[in-house]
Structure 1
Amino acid sequence: MPFAAHTYTLIFLGKCGLAFPPAPALCSRKSQVDCSESPPWNTTEPSFRKTTKGTAEQILYPINILRNVAIESATTHYVLPSDIELYPSDNLAPMFIDMVLRHPMLMNAEPPKAFVVSIYEVKEGTEPPRRKSELVEMLRNETALPFHKTICPTCHHVPKAQEWTNEAPRDPEQLNVFHVAQREGDFKNWEPIFIGTRFDPPYEETLTWEGQKDKRTQMYALCVLGYRFLILDNAFLVHKPGIKNYTIDTWRDGLVAEQNHYISTFLTSRLVSIYGQKEECTI
């Protein structure tokens, strides 16, 4: 019987930041940026997913493994496990640190907290906004819209989203908490990207990007553990330009069905055994 062909992806947990001196081949990075180069959203190189989709050497994108490796490799207390094609608003990191230093109670372990950074997408050919005022203007002229609005509106349906758009930040050079929410009721399917800590429940590594719902299991854990979702008033992420619309894809639809079945028949009971259960918390 012939052997089936398999392709393996090796992911190394490198501790580059801790080595001294660091290994140049492993940890090298550009020390300068050439501003004459084309920005990343204009690149013509095909993405990892496009080069492997539908080929004999099928590689499913191990997004949750990569998220967990990034979090474990971080040398900071707070982490933002964002996707590579999501661009943060200006000065997000220093403004966040300034906020928690101004309000030390935000660093208290109880109740546990997730600092939500809302996500948007913009039309192809437009410049991603860098400040909230720019984003709001693009939302009003419909060159920007909430992330996945036409694909999965409940996945990124942020509590008080319209109020967030209408309300200017208290200080355009600072971050503050706009609203404290929980993942329940109308927002039970919410899958926010957030600034958390290295000690938050991990992402489920058996789930893939192609199968969708890759963040839902972690969201269930956060819900059961009583996390508060603190929506930031002056921070956001913007996806690489191009509005996503649903298209029929039998290959991916099959993977989605398989992953949904796996979650419902196996993962749900495992999560309940680990974290417990609350009626208002769903996957």
Structure 2
Amino acid sequence: MISLEALKNEVQNWLQLHVGSTMALIAESVLLGILVIALFAVLGLLLVFMERKVSAVMQIRLGPNRVGPKGWLQTSADTLKLMLKEGLTPDGADKFLFNLAPFIIMIAAMLIMVPVAFARNFQIWDINIGVLYISSVASISVIAILMAGWSSNNKYSLLGAMRSGAQIISYELSAGIAVITMIILTGSLSVNDIIASQENGWWIFKGHIPAIIAFVIFMIAVTAETNRAPFDLAEAESELTAGFHTEYSGMKFALFFLAEYINIFIVCAVAAILFFGGWMPFH
């Protein structure tokens, strides 16, 4: 069975042989971008469906059950609906910032994916400050949220943006301290070094009480950062309609929605890397 590293080298050698080194670099970048976008689309569909079904079980109800077998195609139908809906811009909105905000939040989500190691030698960029990079780039999403709320010219959107921004900034401090705890135990900011340091045991166990406390704090903090219940005050439907993206529709709304679920996947990936050895149990 061919390894991922060998497959990557084969693709690079083929590109350099047929299109030249410069064009090979461009082609490789475009290919990686397409793969990340495809991963985002699949993850968005699966995570939305999973959340609906799990919530339904917890609340003793059926959940999606009309479109497709047992509701499996419901998220696909919702995606098609969002793609076909007209994207409206309010008359009093700052049109440039209003249209720019959804793309900034998606770009931030895509950039965070860069140092995440999915398997041995299966990583977009093995940067030696991977954890610092993730923490830094994750903060960009706050700018997009505040931009969306302010540019909408809607008081409810602005209030939702301020709530969400304040919540993210506040809980980032707790999450950051939990991450620093694991960096101290590991002695490196590199994602691969952190994973390799857990070859003889997960940090959540061999780090003892400090690692367990860091894990609990990290999970609570990232749950709040991703606006999951019970930390969903930024999107309190009874008060603020939909929060900072109240005025968005169509694909612009879909980008915010997708970025939110991608961030859920990313914080889970970071938790697995820091506390559970990343891909190490499956190597």
TM interval, short-chain normalised = under 0.3
User: Which structure is higher in RCO with an 8 Å CA cutoff and minimum separation 6?
Assistant: 1
Which structure has the highest strand share of the two?
A: 1
Which structure has the highest helix share of the two?
A: 2
What TM-score do you get using the length of structure 2 for normalisation?
0.24
